[in-house]
Chain A
Amino acid sequence: MITELSAGFLPLTDSAILIAAKERGFAEAEGIALNLVRETSWANVRDKLAVGQFEISHALAPMPIAANLGLTPFDTRLIAPMALGLGGNAITVSTALLARMQDRSGFSGLDAAAAGRALADVVASGRASGGKALQFGVVHPFSGHNFELRYWLSASGITPDSDIEIVILPPSLMADALASGQIDGYCVGEPWNSIGVARGAGRIITTKSSIWASSPEKVLAVREDWARENAETLHALLRALYRSAEWCGQPSNHFELATLLGSSAYLDQPAEFILPALDGSILGASAPGGGRDFFQPHARAATFPWQSHALWFYSQMVRSGYVDHSVAHAETARQSYRPDIYRTVMTGIGVPVPSANSKVEGALTETIAVGASSKFLYLGPDGFFDGAVFDPDRLDAYIAGQTD
């Protein structure tokens, strides 16, 4: 029997696992016909999940948390039983801003700390001369982009909102806005950084993987009521997506995947704009191989929904004033991610799974083999660029220590 499932996605490189699951037969092998619907906004995804047009969707990692904390218009509860990879975003600035950064500090490369220092220099000189605040674009308030950009700015000594204004823009309009001078930079998922660079609008100055190594970006969002009533279908879907993630992670498949994603039904972009994120060449020739790769769909437990990731996003929602910190709120955020479901499914097919639901983010400075349910599992490195450590068991202290 074939079960039909409708899923929303936005045209981004990190929708790869869902698209390959459909197009390379992984969903079909599990008895699932995936109906993938391309959407123009995350608001549409949220609405269509709420009214039941979608059972599942490609979603920004903080979206299920925001929904369950009551920060969205509808009372639809969402869970994330699987992540859709690690990394995949970058920060791109206009050529004019880049020139100012280079003038002052000779900045080059993609290191988050060096880029932050160079930008802080420009901001300080702008502040001194009474210049108008720079503007950076992100796609949604409840997004990895918004929270990692704000984190990076703060840790670099730049105050978000006053030193640099953060505005919301759809990904497809970022490059145009940069080229026309409407914004000075943006933090967005691929291929929109590569496209901005290709259009000559700007250059990538750092990446999500440099700000927070092995960090979450998109998740599979599932309506909680649907998940409860359709456990078997959900399990079949997770198996299909896991096999798809494995396929996407194989370097020998990257070219085929880039071509597939680029086709008119999906991203509708030339494969040459998509490939650099998949094969890591976006990081340039001097990029260290292995650990700090740009976008990782599979290796190092890239699809495991760590509750420490959910809690870090929660800590940043508190920091930005979206929600007050309380034990109940933190618990709601933590339970929005469901490693228990993931573990049940993957153990069933002999896949190595972390035995813990949370980890101390920033504890691993290199890739290590860790305790898994079977076989070996490699994790990390997973640090923040400023050396700060996020221990989910010490959430109160972390939140209290956030300065702005």
Chain B
Amino acid sequence: MAMSERLPSVLIIDENTTRASIIEAGLSAAGHSQVTVINEMHGIAAKIALHEPDVIVIDLENPNRDMLENIFQLSRAVKRPIAMFVDRSDKEAMQSAIDAGVSAYVVDGLRQERVKSILDMAISRFNAFSRLERELEEARGALEQRKVIDQAKGLIMKSRGVDEDTAYKLLRKAAMNTNRKIVDVAESLVMSARLLGDEGK
């Protein structure tokens, strides 16, 4: 029958639209034609009933997991019973899913190997997304740090009448003498300048 030929239909429940779309893209690239994304939790039971997914992927940050699991158990909104995807015995798969921050549910009777690739895809995309977020955070931090150091240099240049290079050296020396990071010294300089009302004068 055709049922055994086609790939399972997947429903992605993720309030983070960016993350949901990169999982969707990954699954589409792997040949999954029936992928639906839900970002909005309102009326979720009806939406699940409408789509009748074979597999549901959900992020662990979603506070509605208890509600969803109850819907699955009651099997009223969903015609076929849905269980936790990861097999009781497969602790390793479960571990990597939870580490990545994702969980999945599957309708009863669907063979494990048919959904394994879906979970693997979700896990790798979740991990990639977290990595991107971390990098973005770091980049943002680095940018902030550079801004503070530039401000501190400007303050020193003005008050001491020195050039930029000398200002930086003074800053570095102060940091070494007090055993602190340059950015911390710069930050306290900018803060005290602000407190004393020097900024912008």
Contact = CB atoms under 8 A, between A and B. Distances in A.
Interface of A: 40-44, 47-48, 50-53, 73-75, 139-141, 167-170, 172-173
A41 B64 contact: yes
Given A74-B88, A141-B73, A168-B70, A41 B63 contact: yes
B129 to A, nearest CB: 18
Contacts of B86: 73
Contact of B103 (A47, A75, A139, A173): A47
Query: How many residues of B sit at the interface, in one of the four size bands?
Result: 20 to 34
Given A41-B63, A50-B94, 14 more contacts: A40-B62, A40-B63, A41-B60, A41-B64, A41-B65, A51-B95, A51-B98, A73-B84, A73-B88, A74-B84, A141-B70, A141-B73, A168-B70, A170-B66
Identify the 6 closest CB pairs spanning chains A and B, nearest first. Answer: A73-B84, A170-B63, A43-B65, A41-B65, A168-B70, A168-B67
A63 to B, nearest CB: 11
Given A73-B83, A73-B88, A172 B63 contact: yes
Nearest to A75: B88
B69 interface: yes
B61 A40 contact: yes
Contacts of A167: 67
Contacts of B65: 40-41, 43-44
Nearest to B91: A51
Given A75-B88, A170-B64, A43 B69 contact: yes
A65 B66 CA distance: 17
Contacts of B64: 41, 169-170, 173
Contact of A40 (B60, B69, B71, B91): B60
Contacts of B62: 40-41
Interface of B: 60-67, 69-71, 73, 83-84, 86, 88, 91, 94-95, 98, 103
A268 to B, nearest CB: 14
A203 B73 CA distance: 31
Given A47-B98, A51-B95, A73-B83, A173 B63 contact: yes
B169 to A, nearest CB: 40
B122 to A, nearest CB: 15
Nearest to A48: B98
B113 to A, nearest CB: 19
A40 B103 CA distance: 14
Nearest to A137: B67
Contacts of B69: 43
Nearest to B88: A75
